[in-house]
Amino acid sequence: MNEEVPACELTSSPAVSTIAPSAITPPIKSARGVEVQQTLVMMPDSQPEIGLSDDEPKPVSDIAAAEAANRAASESNRSATGFDTLIGKIVVERGLVSADELQQCAHIARSRTEANGFPVSLTELLLENEYVTKRQIDRLRTDLEAVRSTQQIPGYQIIRKLGAGAMATVFLAKQLSLDRFVAIKVLPKKFSSNQTFIDRFYREGRAAARLNDANIVGALDVGQAGEHHYFVMEYVDGETLHDRILERKRIPEREALVLIRQVASALKHAHEMGFVHRDIKPKNIMLTKSGVAKLADLGLARAMSDREAAEAEAGRAFGTPYYISPEQIRGAVEIGPPADLYGLGATFYHMLTGRVPFDGTTPSQVMHKHLKVTPTPPDHINTSLSEPTALIVEMMLRKDPRDRYQTANELLIDLDCAAAGRSPEYARAAVDLAKLANDTAPTGDEATSVRRIGTPVSVGFIVLVAVAVISVILNLALVAALVL
């Protein structure tokens, strides 16, 4: 399976990631080669403690020096202990070390602290024994700092990080007033002074707030707390469609039809509300434990009526290379519902076949194929697919947006037909021989002209035949006369 290139303005920086427990950063390797997921694990009621004291004791006499050293050691030990406690929990939870190995390091740390008179941290011993790498510890420290900083958002208790992208970090949190879990997307500090990123962040929140559909992740709040810009949304306890494809490779046709129909329903609502998503892909489709699909991540969404934004973005490609529509690649000003339906078609194709419609070693290669190459029919890869489903996918992936479904409602009608085992009402084979015959048959003045030309040709042919017959008869008569 190919690693998916993140959604992005392909001439600029990547967009945000999805919100899900499974939408975490890639697996990392421990010093012993054990692959683990990079997920921050904390107790729900715990608050992270960060920071090792850099203060050195400043003795003014032997006694004072000893007292200062003891105080510094005690303070540093408490600080180190807080961090070490969290690190100890995390490294065991992630499988980097065993509980026995952690206990052994902790015992050595206490012994050295007592013998040397200054604290020896558990982290140092984990590094010394090569149970973890410095990069892993730095990554954990960064995660904990991120969690600590977001505690400043009033009314919410941060529990753990769910995932991170180039433009945002997403946390699981508890909304204290309603005692419920939510997901909070936070704009990184490095973008807090960039008005372009701030505007895009709030645009996502406003777009999501206008949408109210059972198959769209709901928006709850957006705001600023100190240096942090945040967006609170519905927490979906489940997995992404991308996770499910990785696990199963192919999704059974009946199941795929149900899930795609739910996303098409979400798009129908979004389009009717005037928004085009522009980044439909498996990672942006959440699946609840009860089997409901929810469309997420409106980071690239745009109001179709926003002509100013459309013209400002003209000539630039926004989207994810494996699922982006041809018109988005070209940077067309007019980006409408067919673009989202193309992305959904590429997603549908991936679900049914276990592969993306087009592959390549670079994003440019992949996008060139979207523009120029016809994908292998899905039923040629997965021969168990029904003809109606294959026709639907092929129509969704037509190059020209005018040849695709024009509305999500048209797609919903055909999906229902396929689910019922009937032929689609809109989707047809790329080459329809009956239609081709009708299209090439002469009509109107052209047909009249043909008929006019055909009439003298037919009369001439008859005359020639008549002359030939008469000639034969005369010749026979002449031969008979000579014989007599």
Q: Which of 303, 281, 301 is nearest to 293 (CA)?
A: 281
- Domain 147-234 carries which CATH code? 3.30.200.20
Q: Distance between CA atoms of 312 and 454, rounded to whole angstroms?
A: 59
Question: pLDDT at position 258, please?
Answer: 97
Return the SS3 of 95: coil
CB-hemisphere CA count at 13 Å for 392? Answer: 34
Question: pLDDT at position 373, please?
Answer: 95
Question: pLDDT at position 482, please?
Answer: 63
Query: Helix/strand/coil (H, E, C) string of the chain?
Result: CCCCCCCEECCCCECCCCCCCCCCEEEEECCCCCEEEECCCCCCCCCCCCCCCCCCCCCCCHHHHHHHHHHHHHHHHHHHHHHHHHHHHHHHHCCCCCHHHHHHHHHHHHHHHHHHCCCCCHHHHHHHCCCCCHHHHHHHHHHHHHHHHHHHCCCEEEEEEEEECCCCEEEEEEECCCCEEEEEEECCHHHCCCHHHHHHHHHHHHHHHCCCCCCECCEEEEEEECCEEEEEEECCCEEEHHHHHHHHCCCCHHHHHHHHHHHHHHHHHHHHCCEECCCCCHHHEEEECCCCEEECCCCCCEECCCHHHHHHCCCCCEECCCCCCHHHHHCCCCCCHHHHHHHHHHHHHHHHHCCCCCCCCCHHHHHHHHHHCCCCCHHHHCCCCCHHHHHHHHHHCCCCHHHCCCCHHHHHHHHHHHHCCCCCCCCCCCCCHHHHHHHHCCCHHHHHHHHHHHHHHHHHHHHHHHHHHHHHHHHHHHHHHHHC
Superfamily the domain 238-434 falls into = Transferase(Phosphotransferase) domain 1 (1.10.510.10)
pLDDT in tens, the chain (484 residues): 555 555 555 543 333 333 333 333 334 333 334 333 332 223 333 333 222 223 333 333 444 444 444 444 444 444 445 556 667 777 777 677 788 888 888 888 888 888 877 777 777 878 888 788 888 777 776 666 655 555 578 888 888 888 777 678 888 999 999 999 999 988 887 787 778 888 888 888 888 888 989 999 999 988 888 778 888 999 999 999 999 999 999 999 999 999 999 999 999 999 999 999 999 999 999 999 999 999 998 888 888 988 888 888 888 888 899 999 999 999 999 999 999 999 999 999 999 999 999 999 999 999 999 999 999 999 999 999 999 999 999 999 999 999 999 999 999 999 999 999 999 999 987 654 444 455 555 555 444 343 333 434 444 556 566 767 777 777 776 666 666 5
Question: pLDDT at position 368, please?
Answer: 95
286, 261 contact by CB (below 8 A)? no
Question: pLDDT at position 366, please?
Answer: 95
Residue type, 332: A
Active-site positions? 279
